[in-house]
Structure 1
Amino acid sequence: MTDRRRPVLAAAEQAADALELFSRVSARLRRLVPFHSAVWTAADPETGMITAPMLVENLGSGEGCAAYWKSELLEENVLPFRDLARASVPAAGLRAATGDLPARSARFRRLLLDQGVHDELRAVLRIGDRPWGLVSLFRTTGAFRPQDTALLADLSRPLAGLLRTFARPSASARGTGSPAPGLILFDGSGEAISANDEARHHLARLPMGPSFPTSLGLTLPIWVLGTALQARAVADGRDHGGARVRIRTTEGHWLTCHASGLTGPGGRPGPVALVIEPATPADLAVLVAEAYGLTSRELQITQLTARGLTTVEIATALFISPHTVRDHLKGIFTKADVSSRGALVARLFTDHYWPALPEPARVQRPGQPPARARVA
């Protein structure tokens, strides 16, 4: 570990949750990489979209924040987060990337220049190809140096690891008290034009963060608005990703927010329909798997282990060798910090609420008669 990175990570490891992590890291990093303002936000590891929590320092909130993310998703910009998430180095400075011509980016021309910003340093906090957080640092004087970018890049993986830990669902995720989905419609300009009572119920339970009022009397958090903007970007052909994000409520439950662009008369673009609803059992299972860094194969083996199947039975069900199953189990034990199957089941299915997914094809145990076909 480099000397510059050590004090930042020491501050991060004292945090009790993601928002405190952002606050502690930002304060400590500012001593090493001076900046005037910043945006720190969690990201959904499946889609890379912004989710709670978000920390905004020394910048306007509400409509200004909405304009920033609208530019990010709907305009031609230099260093969009979706590109940084796939780049070999997950951090970059705007002036360095544009040859000291930041006005090449619409975000700088339309928003940052008027706010007196001279340079922006961005990073994606990621593990492999999974983004867990996004960072933007802003300077009003002077450009960020190569060593500043290198430091932020070096912090990407360890900070993502801490964010991943904080994302682990707890047993409190079992229910939300309102199973009905909420619906919000947005017109072509991004204005909310209609919402049902269920949407109002779910919105009232989302955590505090940058938001802006609407003519419906609703205040929309930036995570909800960002989902609608992403749906518009997909409909316009600017992005091919999904407009879907998971958000933790103030009660510790998880909601899924997803949106899509509708088609109007003559094939013209219509409104954007956004649905916000309790996370499904499959969503919660994937959340736990993501939070522990399990691969899709490791997720399958973990589920079969929890159902009591032996190593040979798991190998038969998945068409792999018992030796391969044992290797996967060793990796799973390491990631979950356990040493036995019983401890693994307790960790993932008791400490966390992991609903059962559909049963896999039945495995016939030795000496067991074949299953009979069920007659309707």
Structure 2
Amino acid sequence: MTEARRAVLSLAERAPDAYELFRRTSSRLRRHVPFDSAVWTAADPETGLITAPMLVENLGSGEGCAEYWESELLEENVVPFRELARAPVPAAALREATGDLPCRSARFRRLLLGQGVHDELRAVLRVGDRPWGLVSLFRADGAFRPEEVALLAGVSGPLAARLRGFARPAGPEDPVRTGRPGRTIRTTGTDAPAPGLILFDGSGEAMSVNDEARAHLARLPEGPSFLSPLGLRLPIWVIGTALQARAVADGRDHGNARVRLRTTEGHWLVCHASCLTGPGGSPGPVALVIEPAAPADLAVLVAEAYGLTARELQITQLVARGIGTAEIASTLAISPHTVRDHIKALFAKIGVSSRGELVARLFTEHYWPAMPDPVGVRSPDGTRVRRR
């Protein structure tokens, strides 16, 4: 490890939460890669969309944040984040990528040039092909050098691993970073908070919202937000999800308009959107639903956060249902000895010593209030578990 890389990561290793990870890393990185402003944001590892928290530095109140992500999702751009997530090197500088012709980028022409930005260095913080964070560094004078790009690329994996760890449930000594206080949420007959609904018109303006959506939004942490015609401030993560739905409808992207958000209380919400069809098949409004995350919404997140394999996740789901070793072995067509080996590995990864502690850690502390039957449920690697 180079001295610069070691210095950048030294503070990150002790960060108590994702927001502090961004703040400390940005401060230390600036000594080795000078920049004038920056945006650091967490990303949903399945869709790559922005999620909380987000750190915006030296960009005023973040007025251009919505336009930046609109350009990212709805315009053709150079080195978009979705490409960097799959690229051999997860970082790139705009001027280097365009042969010092940055105006080839719509983002540069429409936004950065007018803000006095000379170059942008961006990176995806990823583990494997899973993006856990996105970074944009802006420089007003001079271009980013190849060695600076290499340094940011070199810290991508370790920073992503730290972000992945923060997706785990928060214990008593590890409180979730809080923002605005939550409000009482009206529940359905099953005592689960009711889904919220927001409708966006063709121009991207929020045109209708129900009370449940307002209550869910009040539970989200602080971050860049924008006043809508409804008199409601919408977080950038919600706006980004709606923009992604429009990008999918326009054929610019084939990904999901879906993102998971952690509330100030440490619980998880899922925000998903789709573009409706208007008269004659014309594009209609975007409908965005925000609701408590279901088990299927969090299965991969849990597995990734603890480094579980697909098989370990399947066994954990069965253990949570109170199924014994012999029946688990029969269900998965493996030997009881193999089941016990997997459970021993699970205990080590999650830091527990009993099945009860395992269930409490994963399925009680902010994750899954109830477990569906995992038989026939698709696991993170795309396979299905079937009872035999």
Which residue number corresponds to residue 103 of structure 1? 103
User: How do 1:256-267 residues align onto structure 2 when only pairs under 5 Å count?
Assistant: 256-267=270-281
1:205 aligned onto 2:205: no
Q: Whole-Å Cα distance in 2 between the matches of residues 340 and 139 of structure 1? A: 52
Q: Whole-Å Cα distance in 1 between the matches of residues 124 and 80 of structure 2? A: 10
How far did residue 313 of structure 1 move?
A: 3.2
Q: Deviations over 1:73-119 (max 9, x none)?
A: 00000111111111111111111111111111100111011111111
Report the number of matched residues.
361
1:317 to 316, 331, 355: 331
Aligned with 2:3: secondary structure? coil
Go from structure 1 to structure 2 and tell me whether the alpha carbon gap of 1:97 and 1:320 turns closer, same or farther (over 3 Å shift): farther
Gaps of 5+ in 1: 363-376
Go from structure 1 to structure 2 and tell me whether the alpha carbon gap of 1:311 and 1:88 turns closer, same or farther (over 3 Å shift): farther
Amino acid at match of 1:39: V
Amino acid at match of 1:184: I
Aligned with 1:4: secondary structure? helix
Q: Is the 8 A contact 1:206 1:248 kept in 2?
A: yes
User: CA RMSD, aligned part only?
Assistant: 2.4
Which residue number corresponds to residue 368 of structure 1? none
Aligned with 2:155: secondary structure? helix
Go from structure 1 to structure 2 and tell me whether the alpha carbon gap of 1:352 and 1:270 turns closer, same or farther (over 3 Å shift): closer
Which residue number corresponds to residue 232 of structure 2? 218
Q: Whole-Å Cα distance in 2 between the matches of residues 75 and 144 of structure 1? A: 24
Q: Whole-Å Cα distance in 1 between the matches of residues 372 and 360 of structure 2? A: 20
Which residue number corresponds to residue 137 of structure 1? 137
Which residue number corresponds to residue 120 of structure 2? 120
Q: Is the 8 A contact 2:261 2:268 kept in 1?
A: yes
Aligned with 1:189: secondary structure? coil
User: How do 1:176-215 residues align onto structure 2 when only pairs under 5 Å count?
Assistant: 177-178=185-186, 179-215=193-229
Q: Is the 8 A contact 1:194 1:216 kept in 2?
A: yes
Which residue number corresponds to residue 271 of structure 1? 285
Q: Is the 8 A contact 2:124 2:134 kept in 1?
A: yes
Aligned with 2:82: secondary structure? helix
Q: Whole-Å Cα distance in 2 between the matches of residues 137 and 188 of structure 1? A: 31
Farther off after superposition, 314-323 or 267-276: 314-323
1:298 aligned onto 2:312: yes
Q: Is the 8 A contact 1:37 1:59 kept in 2?
A: yes
1:358 to 363, 372, 382: 372
Structure ID, larger Rg: 1
Relative to the length of structure 1, the TM-score reads 0.89
How far did residue 341 of structure 1 move?
A: 4.9
Which residue number corresponds to residue 39 of structure 1? 39
Gaps of 5+ in 2: 177-182, 187-192, 377-388
Q: Whole-Å Cα distance in 1 between the matches of residues 374 and 67 of structure 2? A: 46
Q: Whole-Å Cα distance in 2 between the matches of residues 292 and 206 of structure 1? A: 24
Which residue number corresponds to residue 75 of structure 1? 75
Q: Whole-Å Cα distance in 2 between the matches of residues 185 and 38 of structure 1? A: 31
Q: Is the 8 A contact 1:288 1:354 kept in 2?
A: no
Go from structure 1 to structure 2 and tell me whether the alpha carbon gap of 1:346 and 1:269 turns closer, same or farther (over 3 Å shift): closer
1:249 aligned onto 2:267: no
Q: Deviations over 1:295-325 (max 9, x none)?
A: 3322101122344545543232113455654
Go from structure 1 to structure 2 and tell me whether the alpha carbon gap of 1:360 and 1:241 turns closer, same or farther (over 3 Å shift): closer
How far did residue 334 of structure 1 move?
A: 4.3
Go from structure 1 to structure 2 and tell me whether the alpha carbon gap of 1:265 and 1:350 turns closer, same or farther (over 3 Å shift): closer
Amino acid at match of 1:246: R
Amino acid at match of 2:286: V
Amino acid at match of 2:260: R
Relative to the length of structure 2, the TM-score reads 0.86
Amino acid at match of 1:135: V
Q: Whole-Å Cα distance in 2 between the matches of residues 182 and 342 of structure 1? A: 34
How far did residue 177 of structure 1 move?
A: 3.8
Amino acid at match of 1:130: R
Q: Deviations over 1:264-307 (max 9, x none)?
A: 11111101011111222433444322321223322101122344
Aligned with 1:152: secondary structure? helix
Amino acid at match of 2:168: R
Farther off after superposition, 26-35 or 298-307: 298-307
Q: Is the 8 A contact 2:185 2:212 kept in 1?
A: no
Q: Deviations over 1:180-220 (max 9, x none)?
A: 11111111111111111211122222211111111110111
User: How do 1:16-31 residues align onto structure 2 when only pairs under 5 Å count?
Assistant: 16-31=16-31
Q: Whole-Å Cα distance in 1 between the matches of residues 327 and 184 of structure 2? A: 36
Aligned with 1:258: secondary structure? strand
